């Protein structure tokens, strides 16, 4: 019989956004960035109350379908604890469907809150596993859980019946690296943008991406001078350019000027990792063209506190 968490116990979560792929590391490399959603989860006598302000307000469901709630329920089950009711308040700053890991951050917020309410009985690896099941890959979720950079991978059992297993290892990012995001004013469906990817790629392109992913891990950790080379890709960005022309234009323009720019996740956000800021005149032009400019730091792990 599961343990019941007392009414009044409250978990407060600060969860970072994330960027996935980082150029060549498709569904493998991730980076936590300093843009945050804040979630407060309180155990109440009965029922479910969900409040959302900021990004996604008026668009996301306010019932059991809400991703934070679904993640809470799953993590409570794994931790073998129960609650009478829940009040969930989300203050969102992470733009949704922009390639900044908003869905993964929501899942991580729910898992982290449930774990805190349960007395922190889940390991980081268990949290990565639970949160990643909602995405189907661990790069964004692992970055938001562990902070900084991550290398992640998935083991798919050959029996076809056992659930995939998700794993991640941290990368300590070089302290000189800063993050600039150019966020267009339109959404991109991850599934729609994935549909343009080919079912097969050449051996030459596979070798190219394997080498650049290796270069990128060194660039992130030890040698930022390799970031421009480390963010090169032949696996997905060229194909996605067909449906994200504005994003592709800015990536190409920035790279031609020497900035390590790439498509953040499935887009449409343009991400730049460098040791220097992007020139102010370029950022001003981006703003004039309707893009949100975010100058960010590399973020630490999800933060949680408990009261009651």
- Residues comprising the binding site for ATP? 95-105
133 in Cβ contact with 163 (< 8 Å): yes
- Exposure string of 267-276, with b = 16+ CB inside 10 Å and e = fewer, is bbbbbbbbee
Element (H, E) at 187: none
Rounded CA separation 170/30 (Å):
9
CA–CA distances in Å: residue 80 to residues 1, 3, 163, 225: 8, 7, 19, 48
Per DSSP, the residues of 88-133 read EEEEE-SPTTSSS-HHHHHHHHHHHHHHHHTTS-S-HHHHHHHHHH
First to last CA, the chain: 23
Any idea how long the chain is? 308
Q: For 70-177, where are the E strands, in sequence order?
A: 81-82, 85-92, 149-155, 165-171
Rounded CA separation 244/222 (Å):
32
Q: Which residues are annotated as a binding site?
A: 95-105
């Amino acid at each position: 019989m599961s343990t019941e968490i007392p009414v009044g116990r409250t978990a407060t979560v600060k969860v970072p956004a994330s960027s996935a792929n980082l150029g060549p590391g498709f569904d493998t490399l991730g980076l936590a960035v300093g843009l945050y959603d804040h979630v407060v989860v309180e155990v109440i006598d009965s029922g479910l109350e969900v409040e959302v302000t900021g990004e996604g307000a008026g668009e996301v469901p306010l019932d059991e379908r809400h991703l934070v709630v679904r993640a809470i329920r799953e993590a409570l089950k794994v931790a073998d604890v129960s609650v009478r009711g829940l009040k969930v308040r989300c203050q969102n700053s992470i733009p949704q469907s922009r390639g900044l890991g908003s869905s993964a951050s929501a899942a991580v917020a729910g898992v982290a809150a449930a774990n805190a309410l349960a007395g922190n009985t889940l390991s980081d690896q268990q949290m990565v596993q639970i949160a990643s099941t909602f995405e189907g890959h661990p790069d964004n979720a692992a970055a938001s859980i562990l902070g900084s950079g991550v290398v992640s991978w998935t083991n798919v059992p050959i029996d076809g019946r056992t659930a995939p297993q998700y794993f991640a290892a941290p990368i300590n990012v070089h302290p000189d690296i800063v993050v600039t995001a150019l966020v267009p004013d339109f959404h991109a469906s991850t599934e729609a943008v994935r549909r343009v990817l080919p079912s097969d790629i050449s051996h030459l392109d596979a070798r190219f991406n394997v080498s650049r992913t290796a270069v990128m891990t060194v660039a992130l950790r030890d040698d930022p001078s390799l970031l421009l080379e480390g963010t090169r890709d032949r696996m997905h960005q060229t194909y996605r350019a067909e449906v994200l022309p504005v994003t592709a234009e800015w990536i190409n323009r920035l790279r031609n000027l020497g900035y390590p720019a790439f498509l953040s996740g499935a887009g449409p956000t343009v991400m730049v990792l460098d040791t220097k800021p992007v020139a102010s005149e370029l950022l001003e032009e981006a703003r004039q063209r309707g893009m949100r400019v975010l100058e960010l730091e590399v973020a630490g792990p999800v933060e949680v506190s408990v009261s009651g």
